[in-house]
């Protein structure tokens, strides 16, 4: 019965505090958010094939004492991509290099889409990213937390003038519904999608993981 379960926030200041969660005999699992999607791996017994290949975990199952990591971000993003991608969109820019970005890169590559990472410390970064590179990359995925509530006025430094009606821009942020990045992309005629559907679908997949193992 659904009323036998609860879902609550565990606000950890440091990743090693997760050991306290594991000592709770009633805990069936939990989701993992920024900045712990990669750090959590060292505390787990096993990874799903996808989580191992991606190198990031956002869902943990605890079953019969074994702690297994999954990546349901990948599932949610793939469903989003398949709804909105057009046939001419074969290359992508991934903005960010954290755990979410790794899941996005995994799915894009799985679907035959070439990718380039843009981050502060990568060869292609926010200082040297130019209009031409954006013009030639018809999918843009914004994976950083820049612009998330309550800092809704923040926006990445990005050459929006390189966008057109041939571009798909996906911002993983879903609060607010329309980030500054989404709004500036729409002003340059790009097709824009926020992260709500991905968030919803990854949660459905997490529930499936937790519930199936309890049967």
The CA-based angle 173-174-176, given to 5 degrees, is 100
The yes-or-no answer on residue 37 being catalytic is yes
Please, what is the Cα angle at 207 between 38 and 54, to 5 degrees? 25
How far, in Å, CA of 88 to CA of 100, rounded?
25
Pair 181, 152: CB distance under 8 Å: no
From residue 8, alpha-carbon distances to 24, 43, 202 in Å are 14, 20, 17
Tokens of 137: 């990359």
Active site residues: 37
């Amino acid at each position: 019965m659904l009323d036998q379960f609860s879902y609550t926030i565990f606000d950890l200041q440091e990743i090693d505090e997760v050991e306290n969660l594991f000592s709770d005999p009633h805990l069936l699992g939990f989701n993992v958010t920024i900045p712990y999607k990669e750090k959590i791996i060292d505390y787990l017994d096993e990874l799903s094939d996808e989580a191992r290949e991606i190198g990031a975990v956002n869902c943990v199952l605890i079953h019969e004492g074994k702690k297994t990591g999954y990546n349901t971000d990948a599932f949610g993003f793939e469903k989003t991509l398949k709804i909105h991608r057009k046939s001419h969109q074969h290359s992508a820019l991934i903005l960010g290099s954290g755990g979410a970005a790794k899941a996005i890169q995994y799915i894009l590559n799985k679907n035959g889409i070439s990718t380039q990472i843009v981050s502060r410390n990568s060869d292609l970064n926010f200082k040297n990213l130019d209009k031409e590179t954006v013009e030639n990359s018809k999918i843009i995925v914004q994976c950083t937390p820049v612009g998330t509530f309550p800092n809704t006025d923040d926006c990445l430094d990005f050459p929006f003038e390189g966008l057109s009606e041939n571009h798909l821009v996906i911002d993983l942020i879903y609060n607010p519904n329309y980030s500054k990045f989404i709004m500036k992309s729409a002003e340059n005629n790009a097709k824009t999608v926020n992260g709500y559907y991905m968030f919803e679908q990854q949660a459905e997949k997490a529930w499936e993981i937790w519930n199936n193992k309890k049967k």
